[in-house]
Amino acid sequence: MDSFSYRVFTFSRQNGLIQPGERLIVSLSGGIDSMSLFCLLHSFSKQMALDLHLVHFNHGLREESLEEEDFLRDLANQKGVPITVFSSTSLKGTSGIQQKARDWRNDCLIEVLKEQKFDKIALGHHLDDLVETQIWRMLRGASLFSLNPIQESSPPYIRPLLRFRKQDLENYLLSINQEWCQDRSNFENDYTRNIIRNQLIPVMEEQAGGRLVDKMLALNDDAYQLKLDFENQVPAATIESEELGYQSILSLSPVFAKELIHRFLLHHGQTEITRTQIEDIHKLVKLNQGNWQIGLKQDKIITGRDKTVFISQRSDV
């Protein structure tokens, strides 16, 4: 085992990401990240008796999609690993295509996991993805908690490469003479994430004296500890309740109080939540105001009444 493989293997074992004899789905796009993940896990499988199953998604958005699918089918056959391919013809030309594609992939992966009784789903997110997502969230005005946007383990998903740079992954594939697929759209600045990756991060890296990733990783670890402290202080039952008492909010520090409001909204199906909404709700609770309403997405309203906060359909209030 080469030194890089050993580092990934040790990290995965020490953090409980992979266990001997597990059945793992590997989501394989064919790019550097997922190709590295598959090759590494395939090499580990000989020592750990891992049962691997590849899942590839043909989004039907690029001319080379069919060529890439054939390449990955051939690779799976050479490695003796089964592969399932999902194809879509409904994504092209739709709004919010990136989120719809993510939702589609997640639904398909969970379907395979349940139907074929796999243990985990391995994804190829790496350290550069983590930094990119942190910056993207900063630009959207997210909270301190959001600086830990991707976790090594979020069952059933595992991300064994999350602490490793993309350049390390490319060097690994070159060292084993393994080809990969190159998505040219990653170099185009049509999406905010691509602008962050291709333009913003290089400038920040230069200004940070080449230590940007280390500094962002430290923020990630601080945000993770903040989440743990919050979860130790606030029971899940409070977040999952039908209503929040004013006192449950006021008893917390402002940072934790706003996170409680945020998670309460998320639990009740609100995914597009602005910082302004959270700030306004917190302010009204602090002022002990009653009989207030703030409009939410999906035709819902959050209401403060009788020293409680609850969510209802617009027509129910």
User: Judging by beta carbons within 10 Å of its beta carbon (0-12, 13-18, 19+), is residue 147 exposed, middle or buried?
Assistant: buried
Across 158-181, average pLDDT? 97
pLDDT at 217 over 60: yes
**How much is the mean pLDDT over the chain?**
93
Across 168-173, average pLDDT? 98
Give pLDDT, residue 148.
96
Across 127-140, average pLDDT? 94
Across 174-185, average pLDDT? 88
Q: For the chain, which residues make up each domain, given as ranges?
A: 3-124+159-187, 234-316
Topology of domain 234-316, CATH: 3.30.465
**Both structure tokens of 90:** 């409904």
HSE-up of residue 263 (Cα within 13 Å, Cβ side)? 20
Torsion sign across C-alpha atoms 183, 188, 194, 198: positive
Three-class DSSP category at 24: strand
Which range (64-73, 118-127, 176-185, 240-249) has the least confidence?
176-185
Residue among 45, 50, 54 nearest 108 (CA): 54
pLDDT at 271 over 90: no
Contact partners, residue 238, CB within 8 Å, separation at least 6: 244, 248, 260
Q: For a pLDDT cut of 90, what percent of the chain falls above it?
A: 81
Give pLDDT, residue 99.
81
Topology of domain 3-124+159-187, CATH: Rossmann fold (3.40.50)
Helices 32-48 and 3-14, packing angle to 10 deg: 70
HSE-up of residue 160 (Cα within 13 Å, Cβ side)? 33
Give pLDDT, residue 186.
60
